[in-house]
């Protein structure tokens, strides 16, 4: 069941936010593939739709904190490893 209530990516997204979402998604995809897991298997483990998993991996959906934690648990990793490294603000 999709219970993720975070906002969909839209035109208000800044370039920095877009880069953040893309890197988060790439980290999820990389870890999932390293475990030999399909998007469908990940979706089942976090009780969300495969559509949501795909949108997260493509950087098209803001992850709710709860969802990010559930994804990390399902991927047997620390949630911090899914988020991009902090960049200094210029």
Q: Which domains are seen in the chain, by residue range?
A: 15-78 (1.10.260.40)
pLDDT of residue 85: 84
Alpha carbons 3 and 47: distance in angstroms, whole number: 9
**Residue 3: pLDDT band with limits 50, 70, 90:** very low
**Contact (CB, 8 A) for 46 and 67:** yes
pLDDT value at residue 27? 98
- As a whole number of angstroms, the distance between CA 63 and CA 7 comes to 8
Q: Is pLDDT at 10 greater than 90 in this prediction?
A: no
* pTM for the full predicted model: 0.85
> Which one, of 53, 49, 51, lies nearest residue 71 by Cα?
53
Q: Which two tokens stand for residue 81?
A: 């490893």
Average pLDDT over residues 47-67: 96
Residues in the chain: 90
Q: Answer whether residue 87 shows pLDDT above 70.
A: no
């Amino acid at each position: 069941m999709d219970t993720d209530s975070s906002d969909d990516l839209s035109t208000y997204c800044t370039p920095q936010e877009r880069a953040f979402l893309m890197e988060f998604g790439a980290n999820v995809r990389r870890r999932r593939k390293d475990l030999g897991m399909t998007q469908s298997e990940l979706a089942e483990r976090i009780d969300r739709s495969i559509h949501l998993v795909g949108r997260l991996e493509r950087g098209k959906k803001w992850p709710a904190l709860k969802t990010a934690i559930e994804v990390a648990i399902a991927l047997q990793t620390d949630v911090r490893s899914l988020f991009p490294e902090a960049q200094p603000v210029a």
